[in-house]
Amino acid sequence: MNKRNLLPVLAALLLALTGVACVSLDYDLSSIPMPVSAKPAEPGAGEIEPFTIEATNVLWVHGVFGRSSPDVTALLLQEAQGYDRIAGFRVKQESKFSHWLITHLSLTLIRMRTVVIEGQFIRDKRP
């Protein structure tokens, strides 16, 4: 491979690496005192209330100066008080226009993503 062909490959690799730098999000659900499942709630399981929680994930100067990640467990615990189970649990990241704008106006030195936590809170039927 000559130098002329190597430049586009390196540019694509660098773009791919910088594009996924803000994608990962770590969380641990072991401290949640109720069952959490990715399967949707079964019909007739009790009182089912869908929920959506949003927070912001920020990567400062490509992670060199740190990162501000939301505490998924704490956010979930705060909202789940009074419920017995969580079903249909999903965590995803997406870009809003305002975050895209800040990211590009800062020349990608500040990368912002919206963390969306979705699912269903279930309050079991009481006899």
Task: Please tell me the predicted confidence (pLDDT) of residue 22.
Answer: 46
Task: Please tell me the predicted confidence (pLDDT) of residue 10.
Answer: 66
Task: Please tell me the predicted confidence (pLDDT) of residue 24.
Answer: 75
The CA distance from 53 to 74, in Å, is 11
Q: In what order do the strands lie in the sheet with 47-60?
A: 67-68, 47-60, 110-123, 85-94
The CA distance from 61 to 64, in Å, is 6
| Residue 112 falls inside a structural domain | yes
Q: Which residues of the chain have pLDDT under 70?
A: 1-4, 10-23, 127
Task: Please tell me the predicted confidence (pLDDT) of residue 118.
Answer: 97
Q: How many domains in the chain?
A: 1
Domain residues for the domain of 44 are 24-123
| Residue 57 falls inside a structural domain | yes
| Residue 8 falls inside a structural domain | no
CA atoms within 13 A on the CB side of 7: 2
89: domain CATH number is 3.30.110
| Residue 17 falls inside a structural domain | no
The angle formed by the CA atoms of residues 24, 9 and 66, to the nearest 5 degrees, is 30
Task: Please tell me the predicted confidence (pLDDT) of residue 1.
Answer: 56
